[in-house]
Structure 1
Amino acid sequence: MKKYQGLEGILLIDDDLPTNFIHKKVIEKASIEAVVKSVTNVEEALDFITYSGIYEDTSDIPRPGLIFLDINMPGLNGWDFMDAYRQLDKRFKATAVIIMLTTSLDPDNKELALIDKEVVVFLNKPLKPEMVTTLVNSYFKEISD
Protein backbone atom coordinates (compact mmCIF):
# COMPACT_ATOMS: atom_id res chain seq x y z
CA MET A 1 0.00 0.00 0.00
CA LYS A 2 1.25 3.43 -0.95
CA LYS A 3 0.69 6.49 1.24
CA TYR A 4 0.32 9.96 -0.23
CA GLN A 5 0.65 13.38 1.36
CA GLY A 6 -2.80 14.99 1.69
CA LEU A 7 -4.62 11.80 0.76
CA GLU A 8 -5.83 10.28 4.00
CA GLY A 9 -9.40 9.96 2.70
CA ILE A 10 -11.26 9.39 -0.56
CA LEU A 11 -14.96 10.21 -0.98
CA LEU A 12 -17.19 8.41 -3.48
CA ILE A 13 -20.43 10.26 -4.27
CA ASP A 14 -22.72 8.08 -6.37
CA ASP A 15 -26.37 7.10 -5.91
CA ASP A 16 -25.64 3.59 -7.18
CA LEU A 17 -24.52 1.32 -4.31
CA PRO A 18 -22.97 -1.36 -6.58
CA THR A 19 -20.90 1.32 -8.34
CA ASN A 20 -19.63 2.62 -4.99
CA PHE A 21 -18.77 -0.95 -3.96
CA ILE A 22 -16.89 -1.62 -7.21
CA HIS A 23 -15.05 1.70 -7.08
CA LYS A 24 -13.98 1.02 -3.49
CA LYS A 25 -12.55 -2.34 -4.62
CA VAL A 26 -10.80 -0.63 -7.55
CA ILE A 27 -9.14 1.84 -5.16
CA GLU A 28 -8.02 -1.07 -2.96
CA LYS A 29 -6.57 -2.81 -6.04
CA ALA A 30 -4.64 0.36 -6.84
CA SER A 31 -2.90 -0.09 -3.45
CA ILE A 32 -3.71 3.40 -2.22
CA GLU A 33 -3.60 3.69 1.57
CA ALA A 34 -6.61 5.88 2.33
CA VAL A 35 -9.93 5.59 4.10
CA VAL A 36 -12.64 5.28 1.43
CA LYS A 37 -16.04 6.70 2.35
CA SER A 38 -19.00 6.31 0.02
CA VAL A 39 -22.27 8.23 0.11
CA THR A 40 -25.31 8.03 -2.13
CA ASN A 41 -26.45 11.66 -2.26
CA VAL A 42 -25.22 15.22 -2.35
CA GLU A 43 -26.66 16.23 1.03
CA GLU A 44 -24.82 13.44 2.84
CA ALA A 45 -21.59 14.27 1.00
CA LEU A 46 -21.80 17.91 2.08
CA ASP A 47 -22.60 16.87 5.67
CA PHE A 48 -19.58 14.56 5.67
CA ILE A 49 -17.24 17.24 4.32
CA THR A 50 -18.48 19.86 6.79
CA TYR A 51 -18.77 17.60 9.90
CA SER A 52 -22.51 18.30 10.14
CA GLY A 53 -25.69 16.26 10.40
CA ILE A 54 -24.92 12.62 11.23
CA TYR A 55 -21.19 13.37 10.78
CA GLU A 56 -21.03 16.00 13.53
CA ASP A 57 -18.86 13.91 15.86
CA THR A 58 -16.71 12.13 13.29
CA SER A 59 -13.46 14.08 13.33
CA ASP A 60 -11.66 10.72 13.62
CA ILE A 61 -12.63 9.84 10.03
CA PRO A 62 -10.27 11.46 7.50
CA ARG A 63 -11.89 13.95 5.17
CA PRO A 64 -11.28 13.54 1.44
CA GLY A 65 -8.21 14.62 -0.42
CA LEU A 66 -9.84 13.08 -3.47
CA ILE A 67 -13.54 13.15 -4.41
CA PHE A 68 -15.06 11.00 -7.14
CA LEU A 69 -18.37 12.67 -8.05
CA ASP A 70 -21.12 11.18 -10.22
CA ILE A 71 -22.95 13.72 -12.39
CA ASN A 72 -26.33 12.06 -12.79
CA MET A 73 -28.09 11.36 -9.51
CA PRO A 74 -31.75 11.72 -8.54
CA GLY A 75 -32.62 14.83 -6.57
CA LEU A 76 -29.48 16.93 -6.28
CA ASN A 77 -26.92 15.94 -8.91
CA GLY A 78 -23.20 16.45 -9.40
CA TRP A 79 -23.69 19.99 -10.69
CA ASP A 80 -25.74 20.84 -7.58
CA PHE A 81 -22.92 19.44 -5.43
CA MET A 82 -20.43 21.68 -7.22
CA ASP A 83 -22.64 24.75 -6.68
CA ALA A 84 -22.85 24.00 -2.95
CA TYR A 85 -19.17 23.01 -2.72
CA ARG A 86 -18.08 26.37 -4.14
CA GLN A 87 -19.95 28.07 -1.26
CA LEU A 88 -18.15 26.09 1.46
CA ASP A 89 -15.60 27.69 3.75
CA LYS A 90 -12.05 27.05 2.48
CA ARG A 91 -11.19 25.02 5.57
CA PHE A 92 -13.62 22.32 4.42
CA LYS A 93 -12.31 22.25 0.88
CA ALA A 94 -8.62 22.45 1.76
CA THR A 95 -6.84 20.63 -1.04
CA ALA A 96 -9.55 18.25 -2.25
CA VAL A 97 -9.16 17.12 -5.85
CA ILE A 98 -12.53 16.57 -7.55
CA ILE A 99 -12.90 14.02 -10.33
CA MET A 100 -16.25 14.04 -12.10
CA LEU A 101 -17.54 10.65 -13.28
CA THR A 102 -20.31 9.74 -15.68
CA THR A 103 -21.73 7.09 -17.95
CA SER A 104 -23.30 9.84 -20.07
CA LEU A 105 -22.20 10.28 -23.65
CA ASP A 106 -23.34 13.92 -23.67
CA PRO A 107 -20.31 16.04 -24.73
CA ASP A 108 -21.84 19.07 -22.96
CA ASN A 109 -21.22 17.37 -19.60
CA LYS A 110 -17.50 17.10 -20.30
CA GLU A 111 -17.32 20.68 -21.53
CA LEU A 112 -19.14 21.99 -18.44
CA ALA A 113 -16.96 19.93 -16.12
CA LEU A 114 -13.73 21.15 -17.65
CA ILE A 115 -14.88 24.79 -17.41
CA ASP A 116 -15.40 24.35 -13.65
CA LYS A 117 -12.18 25.37 -11.90
CA GLU A 118 -12.88 23.00 -8.98
CA VAL A 119 -13.15 19.90 -11.23
CA VAL A 120 -9.72 18.71 -12.34
CA VAL A 121 -10.66 15.71 -14.47
CA PHE A 122 -13.74 14.32 -16.19
CA LEU A 123 -13.82 10.52 -16.64
CA ASN A 124 -16.19 7.87 -17.87
CA LYS A 125 -17.20 5.13 -15.44
CA PRO A 126 -16.22 2.62 -14.33
CA LEU A 127 -12.94 3.46 -12.64
CA LYS A 128 -10.01 1.12 -13.22
CA PRO A 129 -7.01 0.65 -10.90
CA GLU A 130 -4.60 2.22 -13.42
CA MET A 131 -6.86 5.29 -13.71
CA VAL A 132 -6.79 5.74 -9.94
CA THR A 133 -3.02 5.25 -9.79
CA THR A 134 -2.45 7.81 -12.56
CA LEU A 135 -4.71 10.37 -10.87
CA VAL A 136 -3.17 9.92 -7.45
CA ASN A 137 0.38 10.14 -8.82
CA SER A 138 -0.57 13.30 -10.73
CA TYR A 139 -2.05 15.20 -7.80
CA PHE A 140 -0.41 13.81 -4.67
CA LYS A 141 3.16 13.21 -3.55
CA GLU A 142 4.01 9.69 -2.41
CA ILE A 143 5.30 9.42 1.14
CA SER A 144 8.29 7.12 1.38
CA ASP A 145 8.76 5.17 4.59
Structure 2
Amino acid sequence: MKTFLIDDDNLGNYLTEQLLRIEGFSNTIQTFESAQEALETLQQCATETPAVIFLDLNMPIMNGWQFLDALVPYESRLRGRCRIFVLTSSLALADMEKAKTYDLVAGLIHKPIDSEEIQAIRSQLEDEDIV
Protein backbone atom coordinates (compact mmCIF):
# COMPACT_ATOMS: atom_id res chain seq x y z
CA MET A 1 0.00 0.00 0.00
CA LYS A 2 1.28 3.43 -0.96
CA THR A 3 1.04 6.25 1.59
CA PHE A 4 1.65 9.99 1.30
CA LEU A 5 2.61 11.98 4.39
CA ILE A 6 2.18 15.73 3.87
CA ASP A 7 3.42 17.96 6.70
CA ASP A 8 5.87 20.85 6.85
CA ASP A 9 7.20 19.62 10.22
CA ASN A 10 10.38 17.66 9.44
CA LEU A 11 10.65 16.06 12.88
CA GLY A 12 6.96 15.19 12.93
CA ASN A 13 7.31 13.57 9.51
CA TYR A 14 10.25 11.51 10.68
CA LEU A 15 8.43 10.28 13.79
CA THR A 16 5.19 9.52 11.93
CA GLU A 17 7.05 7.72 9.16
CA GLN A 18 8.97 5.60 11.68
CA LEU A 19 5.76 4.70 13.49
CA LEU A 20 4.06 3.72 10.22
CA ARG A 21 7.03 1.48 9.39
CA ILE A 22 7.11 -0.11 12.86
CA GLU A 23 3.39 -0.85 12.60
CA GLY A 24 3.85 -2.33 9.12
CA PHE A 25 1.22 0.09 7.84
CA SER A 26 2.63 0.70 4.39
CA ASN A 27 5.27 -0.70 2.07
CA THR A 28 5.78 2.68 0.37
CA ILE A 29 5.76 5.98 2.28
CA GLN A 30 6.40 9.18 0.38
CA THR A 31 6.92 12.27 2.52
CA PHE A 32 6.29 15.84 1.40
CA GLU A 33 7.01 19.05 3.30
CA SER A 34 4.97 21.00 0.76
CA ALA A 35 1.33 20.40 -0.14
CA GLN A 36 2.00 21.91 -3.57
CA GLU A 37 4.71 19.33 -4.28
CA ALA A 38 2.43 16.51 -3.10
CA LEU A 39 -0.38 17.80 -5.34
CA GLU A 40 1.92 17.89 -8.37
CA THR A 41 3.09 14.33 -7.65
CA LEU A 42 -0.49 13.15 -7.19
CA GLN A 43 -1.54 14.74 -10.47
CA GLN A 44 1.25 12.89 -12.28
CA CYS A 45 0.70 9.41 -10.80
CA ALA A 46 -2.44 8.50 -12.69
CA THR A 47 -2.00 4.75 -12.31
CA GLU A 48 -0.68 4.36 -8.78
CA THR A 49 -2.47 6.71 -6.42
CA PRO A 50 -1.74 6.41 -2.71
CA ALA A 51 -4.26 4.43 -0.69
CA VAL A 52 -3.79 6.82 2.23
CA ILE A 53 -2.78 10.45 2.58
CA PHE A 54 -1.96 11.90 5.99
CA LEU A 55 -2.43 15.65 5.55
CA ASP A 56 -1.43 18.44 7.93
CA LEU A 57 -3.70 21.47 7.88
CA ASN A 58 -1.34 24.26 8.87
CA MET A 59 1.37 24.68 6.25
CA PRO A 60 2.80 27.70 4.45
CA ILE A 61 2.08 28.52 0.79
CA MET A 62 -0.63 25.83 0.37
CA ASN A 63 -2.39 24.65 3.52
CA GLY A 64 -4.32 21.43 3.94
CA TRP A 65 -7.68 23.01 3.10
CA GLN A 66 -6.29 24.46 -0.13
CA PHE A 67 -4.85 21.03 -0.98
CA LEU A 68 -8.26 19.42 -0.46
CA ASP A 69 -9.91 22.10 -2.61
CA ALA A 70 -7.34 21.49 -5.36
CA LEU A 71 -8.25 17.78 -5.35
CA VAL A 72 -11.89 18.41 -6.27
CA PRO A 73 -11.30 17.92 -10.04
CA TYR A 74 -9.66 14.54 -9.27
CA GLU A 75 -12.27 13.25 -6.82
CA SER A 76 -13.84 10.78 -9.23
CA ARG A 77 -10.43 9.23 -9.93
CA LEU A 78 -9.52 9.06 -6.23
CA ARG A 79 -12.89 8.03 -4.75
CA GLY A 80 -12.74 4.47 -3.45
CA ARG A 81 -8.99 4.29 -4.03
CA CYS A 82 -7.60 6.96 -1.70
CA ARG A 83 -8.57 8.03 1.82
CA ILE A 84 -7.29 11.20 3.43
CA PHE A 85 -6.71 11.55 7.15
CA VAL A 86 -6.28 15.14 8.29
CA LEU A 87 -3.54 15.64 10.87
CA THR A 88 -3.94 18.59 13.18
CA SER A 89 -2.81 19.90 16.52
CA SER A 90 -5.94 22.05 16.64
CA LEU A 91 -8.87 21.12 18.84
CA ALA A 92 -11.20 23.48 16.99
CA LEU A 93 -14.66 22.04 16.43
CA ALA A 94 -14.84 24.06 13.20
CA ASP A 95 -11.93 22.02 11.77
CA MET A 96 -13.73 18.75 12.53
CA GLU A 97 -16.93 20.01 10.93
CA LYS A 98 -15.14 21.38 7.86
CA ALA A 99 -13.24 18.10 7.36
CA LYS A 100 -16.59 16.27 7.12
CA THR A 101 -17.51 18.34 4.06
CA TYR A 102 -14.80 16.68 1.94
CA ASP A 103 -15.76 13.29 0.49
CA LEU A 104 -12.17 12.04 0.40
CA VAL A 105 -11.53 12.82 4.07
CA ALA A 106 -11.93 9.66 6.13
CA GLY A 107 -11.09 11.20 9.47
CA LEU A 108 -9.36 13.86 11.53
CA ILE A 109 -6.46 12.81 13.75
CA HIS A 110 -4.93 14.90 16.50
CA LYS A 111 -1.14 14.98 16.36
CA PRO A 112 0.93 13.17 17.26
CA ILE A 113 -0.51 10.03 15.72
CA ASP A 114 -0.10 6.87 17.81
CA SER A 115 -0.13 3.09 17.30
CA GLU A 116 -3.78 2.70 18.26
CA GLU A 117 -4.85 5.24 15.63
CA ILE A 118 -2.74 3.52 12.98
CA GLN A 119 -4.33 0.17 13.81
CA ALA A 120 -7.82 1.72 13.72
CA ILE A 121 -7.10 3.26 10.30
CA ARG A 122 -5.80 -0.07 8.98
CA SER A 123 -8.97 -1.77 10.21
CA GLN A 124 -11.15 0.90 8.58
CA LEU A 125 -9.30 0.53 5.27
CA GLU A 126 -9.64 -3.26 5.38
CA ASP A 127 -13.39 -2.88 5.98
CA GLU A 128 -13.58 -0.62 2.91
CA ASP A 129 -11.39 -3.01 0.83
CA ILE A 130 -8.84 -0.27 0.14
CA VAL A 131 -5.79 -2.23 1.36
Of the candidates 88, 100, 105, which is equivalent to residue 86 of structure 2?
100
Are residues 33 and 122 of structure 1, via their aligned partners in 2, closer, same or farther at CA, if it must alter by over 3 Å?
Answer: closer
Question: TM-score, structure 2 length as denominator?
Answer: 0.87
1:63 Cα deviation after fit? 3.4
Other-structure match for 1:5 = none
1:115 Cα deviation after fit? 2.5
Are residues 16 and 132 of structure 1, via their aligned partners in 2, closer, same or farther at CA, if it must alter by over 3 Å?
Answer: same
What amino acid is the match of 2:21? E
Does 1:88 find its partner at 2:81? Answer: no
Of the candidates 26, 38, 46, which is equivalent to residue 31 of structure 2?
38
What amino acid is the match of 1:38? T
Q: Cα RMSD (Å) of the superposition?
A: 2.2
* Structure 1 outlier segments of 4+, above 6 Å: none
1:118 Cα deviation after fit? 1.7
Q: Distance in 2 between matches of 1:142 and 1:90?
A: 15
Of the candidates 60, 72, 80, which is equivalent to residue 58 of structure 2?
72
Of the candidates 11, 14, 23, which is equivalent to residue 21 of structure 1?
14
1:107 Cα deviation after fit? 1.5
Preserved contact between residue 99 and residue 108 of structure 2 (Cα < 8 Å): yes
Other-structure match for 2:113 = 127
How many residue pairs match? The answer is: 128
What amino acid is the match of 1:105? L
Q: What do the CA deviations read for 1:58-114 (whole angstroms, capped 9, x no partner)?
A: x7xx531000000111111000000001122633x2510110110012221111112
Preserved contact between residue 26 and residue 128 of structure 1 (Cα < 8 Å): yes
Of the candidates 4, 23, 29, which is equivalent to residue 11 of structure 1?
4
Preserved contact between residue 30 and residue 130 of structure 1 (Cα < 8 Å): no
Q: Distance in 2 between matches of 1:43 and 1:133?
A: 29
SS at match of 1:88: helix
User: Which structure would you say has the larger Rg?
Assistant: 1
Question: TM-score, structure 1 length as denominator?
Answer: 0.79
Are residues 74 and 33 of structure 1, via their aligned partners in 2, closer, same or farther at CA, if it must alter by over 3 Å?
Answer: closer
Q: Distance in 2 between matches of 1:84 and 1:116?
A: 11
Q: Which runs of 5+ in 1 are unaligned?
A: 1-7, 53-58
